[in-house]
A and B are shown apart, each in its own frame.
Chain A
């Protein structure tokens, strides 16, 4: 890469301009990745943290709102639990409610109803677990909003009073709302819109949203189990789509990211096309002097790779710097190494593809044009 390096140094302004565009794309990519991870975290971190492999919902439930529409009963849990390959199964209730603590601080909750001795029961990192019917264990995220252990949260409509007994480790949210674990009967009352001491309506006893399943079953085996239990199974990851707004948010951001990848490839392609056309006379001279096609391609692609590596590297560094600041704000933003590395690698790879398509023109330059006045 004798020539590539010297050209980069010689035409600093030209390559700098091109590099700046890639830097900006890379910054944008990091920020979008952070935003998308932040939204994922806000949307489904509570589900991600569960020791669950799949949920069995009511048969033929609408998949994008399964958590709010599905109703299953205790028999279904038993059916699932008794199946071979299923390690555990437990009732799981989910309801979105609003409330406020004794100081009037608003708390929006995804109330999760579980049996305290089941495998989905909350494991508090601070305080204690579910002590009685009024006890609630909250996402640690709620502590940031000013809720503390011992606070009493009064729910709207039902006036159910819940005492915060513990906090989970880290953020547990569902649909941008903190999760609060309560005992299953408490959840059933809240879900039915009744005070805790009122009797549940006929047939409502023993009902909840879904069966939380922990199994080693593959997709086919799950489908068979579904058939026999009369349920609709979604894997844990599939169930993310049932979190309000999750699919819309992630698909919009994904679309923007796909566009950015395409833009990166096109920008690199356009730049190196112009550059290669501009370099045609000297390429003809070098080919006449005996430079092989391989030599010229290596040189050109090496140059593109250096430019892309430096630009994407700088962009990611700046993006992470800015992202670090955003992370401390209320904005749903999370810098996660995996997706950022993936984005950087894809930017470099696609930029290189764009550049390669342009640089391949080198092979079509006729060394004969070096002779005569063809300059």
Chain B
């Protein structure tokens, strides 16, 4: 089974009377090269979906597989390995490491383990049109530029699944369109299964499939 498979996943946070159902029997299947957008108001469970899909949270029930590798069950050490080998993250406002230049941001994930087929960082920077700022550090880049570097960083190790958390939260409209277009393009070219969580309805037109999250339930939008 290639791509991302989320099967009947529920996530209950807290316990007793305080418990909240963050995910309620969610099913989601994303094929390689498919760009899925998940929209919904804050608190609807979007971040929980990404956390479960990326092996950062263990669901209360259900199954998550990436290219056939089960993410529910393995210990933290094994989950770390699966994350670095199979999953790419693009974070809200990019979360780049302050001390590193753009090109070193891309090299960083390849130092986490042994990657024989890692991408060439300069080539990838070229691809996201950031090659001319390869030696700049995050504080010398604009929000959109940081996000481009963040996307390139997530693609360095050729992940099977790309999980994108509110990529346009800190960007203006024009930059937002550019960044999401870039995500859509890379998804198709790299054949990666991409899930983008956003509350920005202007950018979902670039997605192949759009889901709506409401109170922990996920529904496909027509």
A positions within 8 Å CB-CB of B: 2-3, 6-7, 9-11, 281-282, 285-293, 295, 367-368, 370-373, 375
Contacts and interface: CB of A to CB of B under 8 A. Distances in A.
B60 interface: no
Interface string B10-53: 00000000000000000000000000000000000001001100
A289 B87 CA distance: 8
A285 B85 contact: no
B165 A372 contact: yes
Contacts of A285: 89, 91, 95, 97
Contacts of B93: 375
A105 B136 CA distance: 73
Contacts of A368: 51, 56-57
- State the majority secondary structure of interface residues on A: helix
B99 interface: yes
A288 B83 contact: yes
B91 A370 contact: yes
Given A282-B95, A282-B97, A290-B112, A373 B169 contact: yes
B27 to A, nearest CB: 21
Contact of B89 (A11, A282, A288): A288
Given A290-B81, A292-B80, A2 B111 contact: yes
Interface size range on B against A: 20 to 34
B56 A372 contact: no
A280 to B, nearest CB: 11
A375 B165 CA distance: 13
Interface string B68-85: 000000000100111111
B217 interface: no
B3 interface: no
A6 B104 contact: yes
Contacts of A370: 56, 89, 91, 95
A176 to B, nearest CB: 54
A292 B75 CA distance: 12
Contact of A7 (B50, B83, B99, B165): B99
Nearest to A299: B111
A3 B54 CA distance: 24
B47 A371 contact: yes
A28 to B, nearest CB: 31
Shortest 4 CB-CB contacts between residues of A and residues of B:
A290-B84, A290-B83, A10-B99, A2-B111
B47 A289 contact: no
Given A6-B104, A288-B54, A289-B84, 20 more contacts: A2-B107, A3-B99, A6-B100, A10-B99, A282-B97, A285-B91, A286-B97, A286-B112, A289-B112, A290-B83, A290-B112, A291-B80, A293-B77, A293-B80, A368-B51, A368-B57, A371-B56, A371-B91, A371-B92, A371-B165
Contacts of A11: 99
Contacts of A373: 92, 166, 169
Contacts of A371: 47, 50-51, 56, 91-92, 165
Contacts of A7: 99
B59 to A, nearest CB: 13
B84 A291 contact: yes
Given A289-B83, A368-B57, A375 B95 contact: yes
A132 B113 CA distance: 82
B80 A287 contact: yes
